[in-house]
């Protein structure tokens, strides 16, 4: 086995979820993640945990939608709720065989099924949980890479000294929380918002792996200015590029996109909350140097910021509600991140690198 798979498993078990004797561990994995499942079984056993794996499969889910009535989509999976309630640790491995397996399923039916499972999702978020990927062909293809190159990409982003990284990110969180606002500047960009009463969260490999972002929810009606997101992103089955947004009193008042502007329009018009920002964040992972159309990685790219239209996280004290949460990313090498009177990032360096 590639020693990096073992290293990945160790980080998930020892750092992210801190498995201890007697822990009941649930893995959620696709068949393509089998190698990482094998490595995890050994590490979990060494830590004294008991493990069961749920098989995730987009193709099987597609078949379920094919066969199920809307009534069946509303039957609560009580067996899934039972195993979720009984677990201490939940590790999700995303490695679809085909990222587009659900392309032909009506999004209303996907929403209906998600709603049925919302309570189970909430139970899961109350556990020690982690989310990662195992490198596979479908993700390599979406990233425009060979599998071999994609493996290098994933492990460069993931196999880092998270304890050390965590220190820097908590230092950034502390600095950001000394102030009551945040401002992103750069080419075609000057966006600011109040962060009063909001919490900055350092994402340091405890949940997302890779991690590497410090994020908050801005005070909803204080977002002002304009911003140009220069990294493409994947939403509603489309790749949207070159998004420009202008905000007044927290609302999008003008927008454009170089590609898929109509899809951007659909997103903004979904509901009241989708025209406001639910998140403003700073990407810090220097192991990620390029976008791969996978938000788990792209939003963590070092020297970037990102903002999300839509739902805010309660953990940030955010209040914006929406059916969507759409992240958009901007390179910052030519820009600055400023909180109050303090420069957090400038000229390609975070404050702690000066």
Which CB atom, from 25 or from 157, has the smaller least distance to a second copy? 25
| One residue of 7, 14, 15, 59 binding a second copy per CB under 8 A | 59
21 sits near a second copy (criterion: CB under 8 A): yes
Which CB atom, from 76 or from 239, has the smaller least distance to a second copy? 76
Residue range at the interface with a second copy (CB under 8 A); choices 53-61, 176-184, 201-209, 283-291: 53-61
26 sits near a second copy (criterion: CB under 8 A): yes
| One residue of 5, 11, 12, 29 binding a second copy per CB under 8 A | 29
| One residue of 14, 15, 57, 159 binding a second copy per CB under 8 A | 57
| Extended beta strands in the chain, E state | 24-29, 50-55, 89-94, 128-133, 181-186, 189-194, 201-203, 213-216, 224-229, 233-235, 238-248, 251-259, 277-283, 304-310, 325-331, 336-339, 342-346, 349-350
User: Alpha-carbon Rg of the chain, whole angstroms?
Assistant: 20
Contacting residues for 65 by C-beta, under 8 A, at least 6 apart: 73, 102, 105, 109, 110, 113
Under 8 Å between Cβ of 295 and 327: yes
Which CB atom, from 89 or from 280, has the smaller least distance to a second copy? 89
126 sits near a second copy (criterion: CB under 8 A): no
Task: In whole angstroms, give the CA distance from residue 52 to residue 125.
Answer: 18
Helix (H) or strand (E) holding 167: helix 162-176
Give one DSSP letter per residue of 256-301, joined into a string. Answer: EEEE-HHHHHHHHTSSGGGGSEEEEEEE-BTT--S--S-HHHHTTB
| One residue of 12, 49, 135, 169 binding a second copy per CB under 8 A | 49
CA angle 211, 212, 216 (to 5 degrees): 105
Compose the 67-106 pattern: x for residues touching a second copy by CB under 8 A, - for all others.
xxx-xx--xxxxxxxxx-xxx-------------------
Task: In whole angstroms, give the CA distance from residue 340 to residue 27.
Answer: 43
| One residue of 20, 46, 115, 265 binding a second copy per CB under 8 A | 46
253 sits near a second copy (criterion: CB under 8 A): no
Least distance to a second copy, CB of residue 1, Å: 9
109 sits near a second copy (criterion: CB under 8 A): no
Which CB atom, from 1 or from 253, has the smaller least distance to a second copy? 1
First to last CA, the chain: 40
| One residue of 4, 7, 15, 31 binding a second copy per CB under 8 A | 31
Which CB atom, from 101 or from 199, has the smaller least distance to a second copy? 101
Which CB atom, from 109 or from 207, has the smaller least distance to a second copy? 109
Give the interface with a second copy as residue ranges (CB under 8 A): 21-22, 24-27, 29, 31, 34, 37-46, 48-55, 57, 59-61, 63-69, 71-72, 75-83, 85-87
């Amino acid at each position: 086995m590639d020693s990096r798979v073992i290293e990945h498993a160790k980080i998930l078990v020892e750092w992210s979820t801190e498995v201890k004797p007697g822990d009941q561990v649930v893995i959620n994995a696709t068949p393509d993640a089998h190698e990482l499942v094998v490595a995890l079984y050994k590490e979990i056993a060494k830590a004294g945990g008991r493990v069961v794996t749920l098989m995730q499969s987009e193709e099987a889910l597609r078949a379920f939608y094919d066969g199920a009535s809307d009534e069946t989509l509303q039957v609560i999976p009580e067996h899934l709720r039972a195993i979720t309630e009984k677990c201490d640790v939940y590790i999700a491995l995303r490695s679809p065989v085909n990222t587009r397996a659900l392309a032909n399923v009506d999004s209303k039916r996907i929403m209906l099924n998600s709603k049925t499972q919302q309570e189970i999702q909430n139970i899961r978020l109350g556990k020690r949980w982690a989310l990662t990927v195992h490198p596979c062909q479908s993700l390599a293809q979406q990233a425009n890479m060979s599998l071999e190159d994609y493996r290098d990409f994933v492990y460069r982003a993931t196999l880092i000294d998270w304890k050390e990284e965590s220190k820097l990110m908590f230092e950034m969180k502390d600095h950001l929380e000394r102030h009551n606002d945040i401002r992103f500047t750069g080419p075609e960009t000057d966006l600011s918002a109040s962060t009063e009463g909001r919490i900055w969260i350092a994402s340091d490999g405890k949940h997302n792996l890779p991690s590497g972002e410090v994020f908050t929810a801005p005070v909803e009606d204080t977002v002002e200015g304009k911003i140009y997101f220069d990294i493409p992103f994947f939403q509603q089955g489309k790749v949207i590029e070159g998004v420009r947004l202008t905000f007044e009193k927290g609302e999008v008042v003008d927008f454009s996109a170089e590609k898929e502007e109509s899809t951007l329009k659909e997103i903004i018009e979904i509901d009241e909350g989708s025209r406001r920002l639910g998140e403003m964040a700073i990407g810090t992972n220097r192991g990620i140097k390029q976008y791969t159309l996978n938000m788990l990685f792209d939003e963590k790219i070092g020297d970037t910021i990102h903002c999300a239209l839509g739902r805010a996280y309660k953990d940030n004290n955010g209040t914006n509600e929406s059916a969507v949460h759409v992240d958009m990313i901007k390179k910052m090498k030519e820009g600055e991140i400023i909180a109050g009177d303090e420069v957090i990032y400038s000229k390609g360096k975070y404050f702690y690198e000066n």
